[in-house]
């Protein structure tokens, strides 16, 4: 049985009709065409599907779309403002923290949540915040350096 659902994604309100069993990941990709949110493991273990819900990192593969109703959802597409990438996106590029790019959207959103709450995190705080985002390519050092470069003095 389908039900009406209103989601606020990247500041835009979407009215949808969807089944109560569908995940936020499925709705973002299949219904809204927001392909930046990736499905890695589908089990909540890799972090590739990380989005922000009310500013906090959430695994879209484990979150039912109906659970996100009435909340503000931010995907990687929502970080670009006036055609310009977010400073976190730029830092990842400048520090070579992107290789295949599959994990990058989730990692960037986890970093954004951290920096929004703690503008000057320690290296250990950065590592803790990114612990749920697995990367097969970079070895993590460049990702940590990219996030650390944004710490406000």
Query: What are the structural domain ranges in the chain?
Result: 3-79, 87-148
Q: Do 3-79 and 87-148 show the same overall fold?
A: no
**CATH code given to domain 87-148:** 1.10.150.120
What's the predicted TM-score (pTM) here? 0.95
The strand order across the sheet containing 3-9 reads 12-18, 3-9, 72-74, 50-53, 56-59
pLDDT tens digit sequence for 6-64: 999 999 999 999 999 999 999 999 999 999 999 999 999 999 999 999 999 999 999 99
Cβ-Cβ contacts under 8 Å for 1 (sequence gap 6 or more): 19, 20
Q: What is the CATH T-level fold of the domain 3-79, as seen in this structure?
A: Ubiquitin-like (UB roll) (3.10.20)
Pairing of strands 3-9, 12-18: antiparallel
């Amino acid at each position: 049985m389908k039900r009406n659902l209103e989601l606020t994604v990247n500041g835009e309100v979407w009215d949808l009709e969807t089944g109560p069993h569908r995940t936020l990941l499925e709705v973002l990709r299949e219904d809204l065409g927001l392909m930046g949110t990736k499905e890695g493991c589908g089990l909540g273990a890799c972090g590739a599907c990380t989005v922000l819900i009310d500013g906090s990192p959430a695994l879209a593969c484990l979150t039912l779309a109906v659970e996100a109703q009435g909340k503000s959802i931010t995907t990687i597409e929502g970080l670009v403002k006036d055609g310009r990438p977010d400073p976190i996106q730029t830092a990842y590029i400048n520090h070579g923290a992107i290789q295949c790019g599959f994990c990058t959207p989730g990692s960037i959103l986890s970093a954004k949540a951290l920096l929004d709450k703690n503008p000057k995190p320690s290296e250990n705080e950065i590592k803790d915040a990114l612990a749920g985002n697995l990367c097969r390519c970079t070895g993590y050092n460049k990702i940590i350096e990219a996030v650390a470069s944004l710490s406000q003095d």
